[in-house]
């Protein structure tokens, strides 16, 4: 089959790998001009290791382990009050997201047609396939279209409905960026939390840089769609009375080249497929960053979808149904954990 995937983060390239191995022709379209070289560190748990092993990249992924040693808990004055093990945030293995996406791209670039700097504009289905127009490229017809394009999925919006019908906000938003490692952190994190806010700082892969995460209570995940200037204003307002390192970090935020604003939210849907269109990863079932399961869900979902297609004898409807039946209980458990974790910070 000729299959179009939207999104080149984790789920999209992972699915492309398995589909190509099964003999399908795959095109992957990505709005960004190239593979993204930013993002938080990502972690892996459970069956995701089996998927990486079957892809032949587990050892390579492990080589990028951030090697986190633990997290110090501090009060509003920066005085240490306790400690958490590294696994609390880093899972069984943690790597910089840019390294994972680079590995997945290298694994698939020779076999999959990547189209960067473009996005799907319209979808129209009939018995012959899915007719697709793009923002920049020529239109095409595909046997199947897969949305692997994140919480605010273009494919989901076009095939299922507006974001507000599926995106559930968990009451917390935040910003991430890097700055000079002026605290001298060495493969270690520092966490200060209070009702409705959390400040997490760590340094691992690059000894000279410190990753900053500033989280606070909010009422809508649609803040993610605002421009950077407005988002910075919201961050400052949300942390205006915070002490410790926060005033300095807010100044560093303005100068950051890798500013990333995101909200803790989940995607909840009654069904992950409609005709010849199907969703995988955060586009269909985001469990929220607080779950720590986004990357694992993306890898497991992609592998399961490709496997069910291979077993279906060309019956995509049966394959999509079997994929959803297999993955949905796993997603439900992860989403429950994500909601519970968000409540720890006074959100949810």
Q: Are residues 247 and 199 in the same domain?
A: yes
Q: What is the pLDDT of residue 39?
A: 66
pTM here? 0.92
pLDDT under 50 in the chain at which residues?
348
Q: Are residues 204 and 317 in the same domain?
A: no
Boundary of a domain, candidates 249, 265, 281: 265
Q: What is the rounded distance in angstroms from the CA atom of residue 67 to the CA atom of residue 187?
A: 6
- How large is the angle between the packed helices 294-311 and 316-343, nearest 10 degrees? 170
Boundary of a domain, candidates 240, 265, 290: 265
Domain that holds residue 226: 71-95+168-265
Domain-embedded: residue 121: yes
What's the CA angle centered on 42, arms 36 and 46, to 5 degrees? 135
Q: Are residues 332 and 270 in the same domain?
A: yes
Q: What is the rounded distance in angstroms from the CA atom of residue 159 to the CA atom of residue 147?
A: 10
Q: Are residues 193 and 162 in the same domain?
A: no
Q: Are residues 315 and 276 in the same domain?
A: yes
Q: Are residues 81 and 185 in the same domain?
A: yes
Q: Are residues 305 and 326 in the same domain?
A: yes
Q: Are residues 202 and 260 in the same domain?
A: yes
Parallel, antiparallel, or unpaired for β 25-30 and 2-6?
parallel
Q: Which residues contact 153 (CB under 8 A, 6 or more apart)?
A: 6, 7, 147, 279, 282, 283, 284
pLDDT tens for 245-278 read 999 999 999 999 999 999 999 999 999 999 999 9
Domain-embedded: residue 230: yes
Q: Are residues 48 and 58 in the same domain?
A: yes
Q: Are residues 313 and 328 in the same domain?
A: yes
Q: Are residues 130 and 258 in the same domain?
A: no
Q: How many residues does the chain have?
A: 348
pLDDT tens for 187-235 read 999 999 888 889 999 998 788 999 999 999 999 888 999 999 999 999 9
Q: Are residues 11 and 154 in the same domain?
A: yes
Boundary of a domain, candidates 247, 265, 283: 265
Q: What is the pLDDT of residue 91?
A: 72
- Give 208: exposed, middle or buried? Use CB within 10 Å, 0-12, 13-18, 19+: exposed
Q: What is the rounded distance in angstroms from the CA atom of residue 318 to the CA atom of residue 68?
A: 43
Split into its structural domains, the chain has a count of: 2
């Amino acid at each position: 089959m000729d299959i179009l995937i939207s999104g080149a983060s984790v789920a999209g390239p992972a699915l492309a790998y398995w589909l190509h191995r099964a003999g399908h022709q795959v095109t992957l379209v990505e709005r960004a001009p190239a593979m993204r070289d930013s993002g938080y560190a990502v972690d892996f748990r459970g069956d995701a290791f089996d998927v990486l092993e079957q892809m032949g990249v587990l050892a390579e992924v492990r080589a990028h382990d951030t090697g986190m040693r633990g997290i110090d808990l501090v009060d509003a004055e920066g005085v240490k009050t306790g400690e958490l093990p590294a696994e609390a945030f880093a899972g069984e293995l943690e790597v910089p997201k840019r390294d994972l996406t680079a590995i997945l791209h290298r694994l698939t670039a020779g076999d999959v047609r990547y189209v960067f700097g473009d996005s799907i504009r319209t979808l129209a289905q009939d018995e012959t396939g899915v007719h697709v127009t793009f923002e920049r490229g020529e239109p095409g017809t595909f046997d199947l279209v897969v949305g692997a394009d994140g919480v605010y999925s273009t494919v989901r919006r076009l095939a299922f409905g507006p974001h507000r019908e599926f995106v559930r906000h968990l009451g917390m938003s935040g910003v991430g960026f890097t700055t000079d490692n002026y605290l001298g952190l060495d493969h270690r994190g520092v966490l200060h939390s209070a009702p409705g806010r959390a400040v997490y700082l760590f340094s691992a892969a690059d000894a000279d840089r410190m990753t900053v995460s500033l989280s606070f209570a909010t009422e809508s995940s649609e803040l993610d769609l605002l421009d950077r200037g407005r988002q910075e204003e919201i961050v400052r307002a949300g942390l205006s009375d915070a002490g410790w390192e926060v005033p300095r970090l807010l100044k560093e935020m303005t100068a950051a080249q890798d500013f990333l604003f995101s909200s803790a939210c989940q995607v909840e849907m009654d069904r992950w497929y409609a005709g010849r269109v199907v969703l995988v990863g955060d586009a269909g079932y985001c469990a929220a960053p607080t779950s720590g399961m986004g990357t694992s869900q993306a890898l497991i979902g992609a592998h399961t979808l490709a496997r069910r297609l291979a077993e279906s004898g060309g019956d995509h409807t049966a394959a999509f149904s079997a994929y959803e039946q297999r993955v949905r209980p796993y997603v439900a458990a992860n989403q429950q954990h994500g909601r519970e974790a968000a409540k720890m910070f006074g959100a949810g």
